[in-house]
Amino acid sequence: MSSTEIPAAGADDAKTTAPPYQITKGVNGLEKIILGDIRGNSVEIYLYGAHITSWKNESREELLFVSNKAIFKPPKAIRGGIPLCFPQFSNYGPMEAHGFARNRFWIIDPSPPPFATPSTNKAFVDLLLKPSEADLKLWPHSFEFRLRVTLGPSGDLMLTSRIRNTSTDGKPFSFTFAYHTYFSVSDISEVRVEGLETLDYLDNLQNKQRFTEQGDAITFEDEIDRLYLSTPTKIAILDHEKKRTFVIRKDGLPDAVVWNPWDKKAKALLDFGDTEYRHMLCIESAAIEKPITLKPGEEWRGRQELSVVPSSYCSGQLDPQRVLKGQMNFYASS
């Protein structure tokens, strides 16, 4: 397997200790980028779809779920990891479900703009997508989509999407968006999600009817497909068996989708194992209920930061001071 090693984008100077990233061949010869650090944390991103398919901690433990039946063959989207849903989420519009960004080949920006704040000890890469003539027939709007994938010094995974209206016709456009993140879990029956209690949601299994979450946390006993509205900037996924908690921090993404296909739907998906639903959970940071509208020259930014902390259990409850109400430097980073 051949690979090309490139100095880490955004290095402050020649003496930087930021690790390099590699470009190598992945499944079926598709090119992928590997970001890593000296501790062993790593991220893999396919240029096809700008699709993150792996995020590992310093123990080389995989934190994202990718189906063993995933089809790494365009134009099929990759099942698992972090697909990008743009310019349409699911069937919330006239286009093919989840839009086309996840089915396109992106390019690396070799000269990305600098971080707004010091970027010491961060490995990152910028990927770009601009519409082809075929895309413009599907969705007649000129845009530039810049995705920055950053591996933080403690192994946190940060995604920053910047979408700009580059049209010259003076017309605005609107879109919906989601980071369709598939988290790897020990057993879905041992998982709870905190941070969405008391919120309203649209139930996609009941024709998008609106309900209010009644539980003090979300637990899983059957298929779920909900769009939670006006969600907080932090959501926690507690995995009791692994004694770890995923923390999702987000900005510019007011909605959150919670999805698990359960057994019947899993068996109906060609690129999904019959029992794999037990080991995954999608919590998707999103902007769906109120589409984003950009005038020519305007730019939207949506950020998601993923981290892992040890779970603190007391009668099944996460210590709120540690995660949900804890201090963070999310807005201070790029």
- The residues assigned a catalytic role are 180, 284
The β-bridge relationship of strands 191-194 and 234-239 is antiparallel
Q: How far is Cα 195 from Cα 25, in angstroms, rounded to an integer? A: 39
Q: How far is Cα 66 from Cα 161, in angstroms, rounded to an integer? A: 22
289 contact partners, CB below 8 Å, separation of at least 6? 202, 227, 229, 254, 255
* Strands (DSSP E) found in 229-312: 234-239, 244-251, 255-260, 280-294, 299-310
- Rounded to 10 degrees, the C-alpha dihedral 18/147/156/288 comes to 170
Closest by CA to 196, choosing from 222, 239, 225, 227, is 227
Residue 20: both structure tokens together? 């390099």
Residue 311: both structure tokens together? 């779970």
DSSP, residue by residue, 150-190:
EE-TTS-EEEEEEEEE--SS---EEEEEEE--EEE-S-GGG
Distances (CA, A) of 19 to 5, 36, 120, 147, 244: 10, 6, 11, 19, 27
Q: Helix, strand, or coil here: 281?
A: strand
